[in-house]
Structures are given as structure tokens and as C-alpha cells.
Structure 1
């Protein structure tokens, strides 16, 4: 299996810390992890205030305890989820099965979409309750910065988790293409494989290939454990759209004229 599938290292390879840190999903998970700490930390430390004539503390968001509980719960669970998927990303190069890798990425898509939705709901909820707060409930404006920080980083968390969805979809697309290419190559008879010279000319014409059929034609195929030094000519004709137009035709015409 190609080691580049899902943006991870070689399947079954050892853990590479530098490659792990450079992965975009790792950076986004670390950001989401930090944002979740800021949200629930701000609410826990300064999210409860009381007036001078009161002894019991109330939630700073319109005295709605549900708002504070929601922010703390979502923040803590998102914090744990980031740690879990960071561990999965670190273990990902050890997974050699294509199906297991695909399941891991599909779970990443579902979890990231779930947390992006929860952070969107939390941002709207906290913003609404903060706007509805009465000044007489907190005349000294205690904890105002903490409340605004919780709202701000809830908003940022929406985009970090949404970006993780986008990256996971890209990784899923890569493995889907790889599965199609592997399936096509496994079922292609050896007689359809092109000689080395023709493959090189097609590579120069197509450049970076993206079609499974092009990838199949440009991949050398050998039977047995020993590699052949020369490849047999192609016995079956291919469609004209797959062949380079002029170089081979000009060469064949020159050969025919010489024989004549």
C-alpha cells in the first residue's frame, strides 16, 4: 500500500514525530485542544459571580446555569476528544489495513462534524445569554473578559473542527482513488501493459496522472518474483486517444520506407 494514503506515513512504518507534527490535522487538533481549554477554563474560574447583597454565586451568562454547564461540558469533552484523535493520528502509520484506515477517517469525519455543530450551538447560546445579561446582576463587571473569551474561542472552534472535516474528506478521497487503482491493476491482464518506451512517452504527455486507467497503463507489471529485463510488445491495440499522436507514427513510417 502506498504510504501517502490519508496523509500518513508508510503503512506499517515506525512513528515519525517530525512528520506527525507537520501534518495539518495535527496542528488543527492542537488548536482545537487549546481553544477547548480556554472555554471551559474561563467559565470555571470566572464564570460565576454574585452581587454585594448575595452569598450564592450565579452564572455570568444571564444567571442561566445551563449556559455555564453547556460551555464546561462541551469544552471538557472536546478536550478529551482532541487527545483521543491525536493518539489515533500518532498510531495511524501503524495501521496496514486499508479498510481500517478508511474506518478511522470516516470516524474522524463524523466526530469533527459533531463537534463543529456543538460549538456552533454553544457560540449562539452563550452569545444570546451574554447579551441578555442585566447590568444590575453584575455591577462591577466581574468576569466580563472571561465570558467574552469563552464566546470568542467557541467561535474559533467552529472553524477548526470544520477544517478537520475538510482534511478528512481529502484523505478519504485519496484512499478511495487508491482502492480503485489497486482493484483495476489487480484485474488487468499482462497483455495490456505498455512497453517501457511507450510508458515514458505517455508520462511526458500526460504529466501528473489522476485517472485510474492512466495509472494502470503507466504501472509496470511483472509476473513471478523475478523482474524481466525487457518487456514484451503490446499484442492488443489501444484506443487512439491513449497513444501519443506523432512520434511513434513517424517512426513506423520511416521503418516502412526503409524496408520498401
Structure 2
């Protein structure tokens, strides 16, 4: 029964194994995506803005388009938080006893991971286009930071798509054990509310009742089983 699983995790209540958790493909992809988001955020936030000698206002190195830098910073910070949230959910996931709740978590993983993959595709195209049309040579001095942000945006497309694919595989796996019905909940949570049922058996004899049976022999005269009537 130890191999029985529901949506990629065993029965609730098992001990958490950090080594096994870190070796899971979905955990590796989440950590890689988390690192990519830090790189993208750091490159744009630290070196994504520059000002010319005679100007005090800072401009975005992506063709002076503030929207490009704002998009990269926003995506990097939100992807960072999303990765942390998914890692926390992965740690808690084996403790979820209800299959319905597990199904909702896996569906959310599929949808959000696919959404982030699409958003990084948009971000990659946007940043690459704005960097390509940049004509100011002074902006080219920060080329390493710009190219790093574009490159890791491209890689993030596939790491998030991989997370969505793995979540879809877990959804297809579903519940392969009879121990996990759609209404399964942890027995320890319902033990207190279970109604008391007595064991089946014969009715107890009533005190002085002779086993609970009434003696009706006196009502018959023994002749053919008919009751005798007196006039």
C-alpha cells in the first residue's frame, strides 16, 4: 500500500523528506525559475537605468522605454514570490488529505505555470525588440545587463512551461488508490464526530420476564389450537 498515491503524493500524515523533495523535477524547476527571476530583477533594477551627462533624469536602457524596464522589474519580483508560494505548496501538498483539494491545487499549478510561461514569452519579445531598436551608444554600455535580462527571460519560458507540463502529468495520474476516494478525509479528523453504533445481537431479557416471551399456553385448550370459550 505504500505505493498508493493521489495526484503525485502518498497518503496524508507521512514524514517530510527534504532530500526526496529536492530531487523532484518540479522542485528543481521551481528553484531554477526562482533564480532566473532574481537575475532578471537584479539586472534591470540595478543597471537598467542610465542618465546622460547633461541630464538628471534616468532613462531605461531599453530604448528609453520606461514600460520595458517596469515590465521586467514587475515580472521578476512577482515570479520570485510565485515560486516561493509554489514551493510552500509543494511542501504542504502531501499533508492534504482531501483528494478534491489536491485536485484544485494541481489545476491551479497548471493554470498559473502556463500563464507565467506566456508572460515570459511576451516579456522576452518586448525586451528583445526594445533593445534591438536602441540607438543610443551610451545605453550599449549596459549591454551585459540587458542581454542577461533578455536571455533569462527566454529561459524562463521553458522552466515555467515545464512546471505546467509536470503538473498536467500529476493531474492525469489522479487518484490510483481505493484509499483515496473523492470524498476521502483524514480519519483522525472525523473520529470525534462519528455516531455511536451498538453491536448487533439478540435483545436482552427483561428482568423477571422469562426471556421476554409471554406464555400463551393458558389461552389454548390444546385441542386443535382453538381457544375455548365459556358461556
Whether these two folds match at TM > 0.5 is yes
What corresponds to 2:87 in structure 1? 86
Structure with higher RCO (Cα < 8 A, 6+ apart)? 2
Superposition deviation, residue 135 in structure 1:
2.8
**In structure 1, how many angstroms separate the alpha carbons of the residues matched to 2:180 and 2:54?**
73
Please give the per-residue CA displacement for 1:87-135, whole angstroms capped at 9, x wherever unaligned.
0000111111111111110000011011001100000000000001013
Q: Tell me the SS of whatever aligns to 1:6.
A: coil
What corresponds to 1:153 in structure 2? 152
Which has the larger displacement, 45-54 or 64-73? 45-54
Give the conservation status (yes or no) of the 8 Å contact 1:14–1:93.
no
**In structure 2, how many angstroms separate the alpha carbons of the residues matched to 1:9 and 1:43?**
42
**In structure 2, how many angstroms separate the alpha carbons of the residues matched to 1:78 and 1:165?**
14
What corresponds to 1:169 in structure 2? 168
Which has the larger displacement, 109-118 or 6-15? 6-15
What corresponds to 2:117 in structure 1? 116
Aligned length: 180
Give the conservation status (yes or no) of the 8 Å contact 1:37–1:79.
yes
What corresponds to 2:105 in structure 1? 104
**In structure 1, how many angstroms separate the alpha carbons of the residues matched to 2:9 and 2:18?**
12
**In structure 1, how many angstroms separate the alpha carbons of the residues matched to 2:109 and 2:131?**
32
Please give the per-residue CA displacement for 1:135-176, whole angstroms capped at 9, x wherever unaligned.
34x16x332100000000000000000000110011001115
Which has the larger displacement, 112-121 or 45-54? 45-54
Work out which of the two has the higher radius of gyration on C-alpha atoms and give 1 or 2.
2
**Gap runs ≥5 in structure 2:** 182-231
Superposition deviation, residue 179 in structure 1:
7.0
**In structure 2, how many angstroms separate the alpha carbons of the residues matched to 1:46 and 1:158?**
23
Give the conservation status (yes or no) of the 8 Å contact 1:43–1:68.
yes
Rate the CA distance shift 1:182–1:55 in 2: closer, same or farther, 3 A. Answer: closer
Q: Which has the higher helix share?
A: 1
What corresponds to 2:135 in structure 1? 134
**Gap runs ≥5 in structure 1:** 184-260
